[in-house]
Amino acid sequence: MTKPAPDSLALLSVAEMAGADEAAIASGIAGFALMERAGRAVADAVSRRGRPGERVLVLCGPGKNGGDGFVAARLLEARGFAITLALAGERGQLTGDAGEAAAGWQGPVLAVAEIRPEDHAIIVDALFGAGLNRPLGGAVAALVERVNASDLPVISVDVPSGVSGDSGMTAGPAIRADETVTFFRLKPGHLLYPGRALCGVVTLADIGITAEMVFGPGKPPPMTFSNEPALWQGQLPRHEAGTHKYRRGAVAVAAGGLAGVGAPRLGARAALRIGAGLATIICRPEALATHAGRGPDALMQIAAADGAAFEAALATRKLSALLAGPALGLDAMAAEVVTAALCAKLPLVLDADALTVLAARSELLEELAGRRSVPTVLTPHEGEFLRLFGDRAPYASGASRLVRARTAATATASVVVLKGPDTVIAAPDGRAAINATGSAALATAGSGDVLGGIVTGLLAQGMPAFEAACAAVWLHGKAGEALGFGLIADDLPEALPGALRLVAG
């Protein structure tokens, strides 16, 4: 049996965090004690950046996020900082724990319209956190713009105000923080753009909520994770000394004609570098000689002139996984190949042209993929995702990338890798992970083809599909980080052994 994913990597939605809060209170911790510790963690972050005597502006909202701000203000004043506190709303609005926190603040409470951010050394943003439910407007929106224009260090409480903790999206003005102090576990909005960029450094504070309280026996397990090695490291392929190449898995890559010999080769090369034992390109007859003339010599190639020949080629090789898409083409034969690939009993990765061939035919994909008894992985970038699923609810581009990837994974019974700077990997069983490795250096032609090859190579070695996709995305990112700017996609497979060394036991 595989071990459950470590709850330390869990990303909690706003609703799940409210549940964690309730669970902690049910175990006997007072809600105000949580707020007191949250405020202390914020005050500690300010103390690390500033010196007593400096002027700190604490901006408080009308809910518990503001309550954390009132606690931080009280503690910072006791530590010798000079505090200006402004409240968005009326003091009488603050109730419960937030009311108690406000009552503990003895200093003046100013209105946001009176505030000049530039008169301060550090700003604490405790306006809105998990309770944000509409775009910021009026005097608060104007203040947020002034804070951002001030270029002063900003420490946000829980999330930068204006950013959704669930999606990382903004529906209006939002604070641009240097540091965000959040509590117990990260939220999806800390890893999804634009939230990720607006958070600055994210500091995770212990406020007394324990894993046992939230994820203990009888509680639903977390389903959303930060994509870290602990999520999949235990399922990386391990090959004993006596293995042979077929046991390490044979990969096939469906290629097109002469116009695109590079992309499928990048995929095949990556599959070999990640540890598959063999890789074969199945190409159009006119491209065979060109493929045969190009390296690496470890690659094999065979020709198929039509869909039937492609199916026959699949049957002649002892294959363990198939990649279809990179430079496959968009013609009738490409459509036949995609259908044959979906009907074959082989773990399958569909990327690039294969996804475009299926464009606006997501029902066909749902039907064919739904019947498969072996894993299917789809690796669309944003444009391919839109072409495939359309810009309509629940896939619409206005919705969270996390929700869109999850919806697509359930509908197509496939693992969906929605690529981007914050790649989301979603499984049909509801699990999802958000990746943070890599850099803009990966936004280069052929980089996605390499990723498709890594996933396929891991599937060929028997790794479960969700874990294979998560591992591939993480390793691809690490290979990109190691190479840095100046990389071209051809370099990425060569950097995989180095990335593997970071995680292989």
Ligand X SMILES: NC(=O)C1=CN([C@@H]2O[C@H](COP(=O)(O)OP(=O)(O)OC[C@H]3O[C@@H](n4cnc5c(N)ncnc54)[C@H](OP(=O)(O)O)[C@@H]3O)[C@@H](O)[C@H]2O)[C@@H](O)CC1
Task: Name the residues that contact ligand X, by CB under 6 A.
Answer: 17-18, 20-21, 34-35, 38, 61-68, 128-136, 157-158, 183, 207
SS (H, E, C) 118-137: HHCCEEEEECCCCCCCCCCC
Q: What does 156 interact with, of ligand ADP, ligand X, K ion, none (CB < 5 to 8 A by kind)? A: K ion
Q: Is the dihedral of CA 302, 312, 265, 453 positive or negative?
A: negative
241: left (phi over 0), alpha (psi -120 to 50) or beta: alpha
Residue 446 contact among ligand X, ligand ADP, K ion, none, beta carbon within 5 to 8 Å by kind:
ligand ADP
Among residues 194, 262, 420, 464, the one that binds ligand ADP under rule CB under 6 A: 420
Feature table: binding site = 64-68, 125, 129-135, 158, 161, 263, 381, 419-423, 448-449
Number of neighbours of residue 135 by Cβ within 10 angstroms: 12
Residues 295-354 that bind ligand ADP (CB under 6 A): 352
Residue whose CB is less far from K ion, 157 or 499: 157
Which region, judged by CB under 5 A, interacts with K ion, from 6-14, 72-80, 120-128, 299-307?
120-128
Beta bridge partners of 290: none
Q: What is the SS3 string spanning 391-441? A: CCCCCCCCCCHHHHHHHHHHHHCCEEEEECCCCEEECCCCCEEECCCCCHH
Distance from CA of residue 312 to its chain's centroid? 38
161 near K ion, rule: CB under 5 A: yes
Q: Pinpoint the alpha helices (H) of 216-359.
A: 262-273, 288-292, 307-316, 332-343, 352-357
Task: Give whichever of 188 and 448 is closer to ligand ADP, judged by the CB atom.
Answer: 448
Residue 419 contacts ligand ADP per CB under 6 A:
yes
* Interface residue with ligand ADP, options 1, 78, 393, 440 (CB under 6 A): 440
Question: Which residues sit in the known binding site for (6S)-NADPHX?
Answer: 64-68, 129-135, 158, 263, 381, 449
Minimum distance of ligand X from residue 202's CB (angstroms): 14
Burial of 252 (0-12, 13-18, 19+ CB in 10 A): buried
Of residues 269 and 419, the one with the C-beta less far from ligand ADP: 419
Look-up of token digits 């990765």 = 349
State in angstroms the smallest separation of the CB of 28 from ligand X: 15
Q: Which does 18 bind (CB under 5 to 8 A by kind): ligand X, K ion, ligand ADP, none?
A: ligand X
| 377: number of Cβ within 10 Å | 28
Instruction: Indicate whether 156 belongs to the interface with K ion (CB under 5 A).
Output: yes
**Which residue type occupies 474?**
W
Q: Which helix (H) or strand (E) holds 74?
A: helix 64-78
Q: How far is the CB of 176 from K ion (least distance, A)?
A: 12
Chain centroid to CA 21: 24
Site for ligand ADP, rule CB under 6 A: 352, 381, 419-421, 423, 438-440, 442-443, 445-449, 451, 476
Site for K ion, rule CB under 5 A: 125, 129, 156-157, 161
